[in-house]
Structure 1
Amino acid sequence: MKKITLLVACITLIISCKQKQEIIEKPESSIEKENLPVEITPSLNYVDLVVVLSENSNLTEAQMLLKNNNLTIDKILIDEDYLKAGLVKVPENDKEEWKNKLSALDFIQGIEKNSKNILNTINDKYDNRLITINKTPCFGDCPVYNVVVKKNGLVTFNGIKNVLNKGLVKFQLDNQQLQILNEKFSKIVTNNYKPIYDSRNPDLPSTNISFKGTNIKIRLWKEVPLELIEVHEYIIEHLLDKKYIE
């Protein structure tokens, strides 16, 4: 009986060992790699458009408004009181469409193609100033003010110090007055003047005159050509008549 019990125990042990040694291998599921097509986005070429802002437009405000159209001013070309312009990049393929869109905006007065001489182009085409006169301080009570006369006869006076009218004011020359000024102005030859007519007297104020891309600083008037003196005096007469200065 003991032999039978021992035999059964041995058989059970052998079967148990065989079960532990069996390894059930599962076949690996093969995953086929899909050859998906790669979508290539074509690179965009950009071109520079020069936007010239309308008169009295603010560059910061213009930048914000352009952002609404997903554009930005990449470079400021001109930032003066009388004129502001900057570069805007647009896709080359959509250049004409963007030119039309930009031209329709109220704060833009013109669109130009960028070029080597773009600054000259902008000034010649959009700078509508006829002449600018700035009076600087002296050690006494000399009047300090700025005057801009535009080609259409609009005069802007900005009184700063020792003037009868402080602040900004505008008035319009009538047709006859503008004609007289243009006749006087026609006698001016831009390459006929020194950049500075100076004096050794440090107390004298300076009169800075700008016109046609020419800038002249005057502290001593006796050497200034007569035609320039006449233009200056004609403008000053109107300021005296308006009682802006005395």
Structure 2
Amino acid sequence: MKYLSLIIMILMSPSCSISKKNASVVKEKLIVTFSKGKCLGNCPVYDLYIYNNGRVVYNGIDNVKKKGVYETLIALDTVKRIEYLMKHFSPEEIGNTNGRDIPFTILKINDKKVVYRSTRSSGNLLKINNLIENIKDKL
């Protein structure tokens, strides 16, 4: 019975390597989702995900130079800058969303979701859009 208790305790206790691995997963949090939609022409279609630790995941879908999934790292200052700009943009910066062949961009940061046409945005929203487009171009 003594040995059975000892075996159960060993099996129930977490291993150090597993704990460290899980700790790194818990720290990473998706904070930005950026999606470019289709148009009637050859507009690029892709998704880009930015995590709080600077990890960026790009998924090229259609009409892009790089199709498929790619990853890179960006500076934490850039992540903080995007978060700051998102907190300080106004709805007027979205601009006119009318138009038949202009693709929509969907931007999600934490609890905010903005659907806009990047060619008609302005102010901080345009700055966010340009920052993320530059990240995508460097992949």
With normalisation by structure 2, the TM-score equals 0.70
Q: Which residue of 2 aligns with 1:233?
A: 130
Give the match's secondary structure for 1:186: helix
**Amino acid corresponding to residue 129 of structure 2 in structure 1:** H
**Amino acid corresponding to residue 81 of structure 2 in structure 1:** E
- C-alpha spacing 1:184/1:131, structure 2 compared with 1 (3 Å): closer
Once residues 122 and 14 of structure 2 are traced to their aligned partners in structure 1, the CA distance between those partners, rounded to angstroms, is 46
**1:202: Cα distance to partner?**
1.4
Q: Which residue of 2 aligns with 1:146?
A: 47
Q: Which runs of 5+ in 1 are unaligned?
A: 1-100, 111-124
Q: Which runs of 5+ in 2 are unaligned?
A: 1-11
**1:240: Cα distance to partner?**
1.5
Higher relative contact order (CA 8 A, sep 6+): 2
Pairing 1:189-200 to 2, within 5 Å after superposition: 189=87, 192-193=90-91, 197-200=95-98
Tell me how large the CA RMSD over aligned residues is.
Answer: 3.1
2:114 to 216, 219, 224: 216
Once residues 131 and 167 of structure 1 are traced to their aligned partners in structure 2, the CA distance between those partners, rounded to angstroms, is 19
Deviations 1:59-117 (A, max 9, x none): xxxxxxxxxxxxxxxxxxxxxxxxxxxxxxxxxxxxxxxxxx6x9496xx59xxxxxxx
- C-alpha spacing 1:145/1:187, structure 2 compared with 1 (3 Å): closer
Once residues 211 and 184 of structure 1 are traced to their aligned partners in structure 2, the CA distance between those partners, rounded to angstroms, is 9
**Amino acid corresponding to residue 171 of structure 1 in structure 2:** T
Write out the 4+ residue segments of structure 1 that deviate beyond 4 Å after TM superposition.
103-106
Deviations 1:24-79 (A, max 9, x none): xxxxxxxxxxxxxxxxxxxxxxxxxxxxxxxxxxxxxxxxxxxxxxxxxxxxxxxx
Number of corresponding residues: 121
With normalisation by structure 1, the TM-score equals 0.42
Q: Quote the sequence identity (%).
A: 22
Q: Which residue of 2 aligns with 1:183?
A: 81
Q: Which residue of 2 aligns with 1:203?
A: 101
